[in-house]
Amino acid sequence: MGFTQVLAVLKSRRRALFAVWGGVVVLALVVSLVLPRQYLASAEVVVEPRGGDQLASQPGSSGTTPGFLATQADIIASERVGARAVAALKLAADPRWAGRWQKASGGQGDANRWIAGRLKKNVKVSPSHESNVLTLTVTADDPRFAADYANALARAYLETDLELRVEPARQSAVWFDEHTRQLRGELEGAQARLAEFQRANGLVGDDKLDLESARLAELSTQLTAAQAQTSEASSRQRQGGGMNDVTASPLIQALKVDLARQEAKLIELAGYLGENHPQYQRVKGEVDSLRARLRAESGQVAAVVGTNSRINQAREGDIRARLDAQKQRVLELKRQRDEMGVLLREVDSAQKAYDLVLARLTQTSLESKSRQGNVALLSSAVAPTEAASPRPLLNLGLALVIGGLLGVAVAIVRELFDRRIRGADDLAEALGAPVLAEIGSGADASPGLLGGLLPAALRRA
């Protein structure tokens, strides 16, 4: 169907077209006048993401994601926030809402949650994709109620966000408090075991071990010196039973000199005196006395060498025994020090664990007492002065467009079901033959086109 055909159809069926067009416009006007007025009130809140350290986080310190803002939007639209807002406005005490709740639930359940569920469909939360701002829009037939409920929702969201932030901190603080008491008991037990061990063994630090180690080194030095003296004495004793000491004795040397002088004198007297001469006997007695004294002194020196050897050996054995005892003492002190080191490490470990949990307890306690949330009220809702719907002018404009299109569609559909010959194109299409001639103008030929064309066609044939 060509454009001229469509115009011919619309012209011939203009009554149906204008009827549909007018009906749609009238219907739109009636609906605009009949529908109750709806008012929109909006409040805006700015949301900051929760960081890992809530005490150190600063507003605007990190960005948000659409998923995060969508989560916050769901929180605002939740019954928990709605019930808090309803309770703040005391809607459950309103006879109108109380009657509806009694009728619907029979007085069972929470009235605030039921009312919040009914109002939820009138609440729209619009998260922004380029900022951290959430817009709360409430639709109601009362402009004042729409503004009040939007503001109540915003305040309830601020309080709920603070609760959601503080409640985990409170639970963590309780857990850390219990764990802190347990760790404090373990620390005190470890310290008590360490103190008892130090008291039982007389240990204060490493000073005692250092002192005993110094004594061990001193005894080791003394043993080395005693071994040298014993070895020297034994060597002298083995070399002629101490003859070197006997020979080196000044007294024995003096006695030998006196003995040689008396023996020479005795030999001289024997040359001119007899053995029975008194002078000879006297000198001989002195020689015998000197020989006896020399033998006695030599034996005494030799005995001294042996005695010194035995004394050195006994002294060496005593020092060795003391050295062995000191070694055992040092080893015992080292063992005690190792045990004390284990106890010290237990105390250090318990102290570190206690300090760590205590620090977390302090942090969570501060967080649980925080009164600053991650949400701030950007702008409050005000009662609108104009209704958001219905909008008569807009509805009328849409009705004009939609009604015109719908009227054209009705006219064309009716023409398809009831086809008429309204022009040369329709005739050619109906007969399946080309149009040979057309008499008169388009305006004049339209009413009697079939009567004007058929004779012309016959004359030409």
Residue 186 confidence (pLDDT): 86
Is the model's pLDDT at 58 over the cut of 70? Answer: no
Sheet holding 123-127, edge to edge: 123-127, 133-140, 39-47, 375-379
**Residue 370 confidence (pLDDT):** 67
Between these two residues, 416 and 343, which has the higher pLDDT value? 343
| pLDDT-derived band at 180, boundaries 50, 70, 90 | confident
**Residue 102 pLDDT exceeds 90:** no
Question: In the predicted model, what is the mean pLDDT of the chain?
Answer: 75
Q: What is the mean pLDDT of residues 428-432?
A: 58
Percent above pLDDT 90 for the chain: 5
Per the structure block, which two tokens stand in for 126? 């619009």
Highest mean pLDDT, choosing among 42-46, 53-57, 247-251, 400-404:
42-46
pLDDT above 90 for 151: yes
Q: What pLDDT does 452 receive? A: 42
Give the number of other Cβ atoms within 10 Å of residue 407's Cβ: 22
Provide the pLDDT for residue 15.
79
Looking at residue 424, its pLDDT comes to 61
Domain ranges for the chain, please list them.
33-170+371-394, 207-352
pLDDT band at 246 (very low <50, low <70, confident <90, very high): low
**What pLDDT is attached to residue 239?**
54
- Written as one letter, the residue type at 165 is R
Q: How confident is the model at residue 20 (pLDDT cuts 50, 70, 90)?
A: confident
Q: Can you tell me the distance from the alpha carbon of 398 to that of 392, in angstroms, rounded to the nearest whole number?
A: 10
pLDDT at residue 357 is higher than 80? yes
pLDDT band for position 3 (50/70/90)? low
Q: Is 339 or 35 the better-scoring residue by pLDDT? A: 339
pTM (2 d.p.): 0.50
**pLDDT value of residue 37:** 79
pLDDT (0 to 100) of residue 387: 73
